[in-house]
Amino acid sequence: MSDSNVVKPSLQHKAPLPFVGQKRFFLKSFRKVLDEHIPNDGEGWTIIDVFGGSGLLSNNAKHLKPAAKVIFNDFDNYTERLKHVDDSNRLRRQLIDVLSDYPRQKLLDKSIKPKVIDVIKKFEGHIDMRVLSTWLLFAGKHATSLDELYASHLYNTLRRTDFPAVDDYLTGVEVVCESYDTLLPQYADQPKTLLVFDPPYVNTQQGAYAQTGYFGMVQFLKLMQYVRPPYIFFSSTRSEILSYLDFVQECDQRTWQRVGNYEKISLKACMNKNSSYEDHMIYRFE
């Protein structure tokens, strides 16, 4: 099948809208692994982005392997957010009018904070709380409601430019919205099906995800029952996956035969100058 017969999105290097945990620093490694293990344009293959998040991995997979069936499980309703990019850009411009002369990265004082809140209250359009949080809250903070935002310390971290157009971000990608334990059984025995996992970290704060608090230890253990090659699994030293795999290797050879003998790529990530951790991409194709 030639490229002229397939439809693919333009390749993106980061998600068009903010999303906690997007894997943009792993994209080079992700692309390399796909090219090494899925031949040509991916005809005959299915790639399932089980915890789709921002859809960035789905975008890259479909661009690189355009003949493959790529399924983006939009469990966090990212596609709904994409529909309102124009509103977010319009709100940004209105906030810029208020904050244009205010120092960046600085706490809003008592004279300017009410003006910012007034702009938001009068805005006629969709308000994306995740976008607004990245613009007005300290790094890493997230407000789930406007009342929570208004009660917080606000900062001028407003984006300098509009968000880009997103018309073809998921071109050719099949979008679904299902829990992993209803999605994965549909493809359990299907050949040439790559499972891509990027689940929330177990027992960590998940307020920035649509399904707050839904992924705990029991959910993690249920998920691991569905993991089988070929798979790519993203994790971190902040999660339990490597400790779990060490335990399985020692105590559960049957499970180890299914999920073990993997390869690993690690990247160092810094939260701030005093805190860092490692992100991991674990994968197995045979």
Angle between helices 56-64 and 27-37 (to 10 degrees): 40
Residue 25 pLDDT greater than 80, yes or no: yes
Can you tell me which residue has the tokens 């993203």? 234
Q: What's the pLDDT at 94?
A: 97
Q: What's the pLDDT at 238?
A: 65
What mean pLDDT comes out for the span 106-134?
Answer: 97
Q: Tens digit of pLDDT for each residue in 46-75?
A: 999 999 999 999 999 999 999 999 999 998
Q: What's the pLDDT at 189?
A: 86
User: Where does residue 172 fall: left (phi above 0), alpha (psi -120 to 50 degrees), or beta otherwise?
Assistant: left
User: Between 273 and 156, whose confidence is greater?
Assistant: 156
Residue 168 pLDDT greater than 80, yes or no: yes
Residue 2 pLDDT greater than 60, yes or no: no
Above pLDDT 90, what percent of the chain? 74
What mean pLDDT comes out for the span 134-139?
Answer: 92
Residue 17 pLDDT greater than 70, yes or no: yes
Residue 173 pLDDT greater than 80, yes or no: yes
Q: Sorting pLDDT into bands at 50, 70 and 90, what band is 270?
A: low
Cα(193)–Cα(172) distance, rounded to whole angstroms? 17
3-state helix, strand, coil in the chain (%, to 5): 35, 15, 50
Cα(20)–Cα(130) distance, rounded to whole angstroms? 9
Strands 69-73 and 46-49: parallel
CATH 3.40.50.150 domain extents, the chain: 3-80+170-284
Give the right CATH number for 3-80+170-284 from 3.40.50.720, 3.20.20.140, 3.40.50.150, 3.90.1150.10.
3.40.50.150
Q: Sorting pLDDT into bands at 50, 70 and 90, what band is 274?
A: low
Q: What's the pLDDT at 188?
A: 87
Residue 272 pLDDT greater than 80, yes or no: no
Q: What's the pLDDT at 208?
A: 44
Cα(202)–Cα(196) distance, rounded to whole angstroms? 17
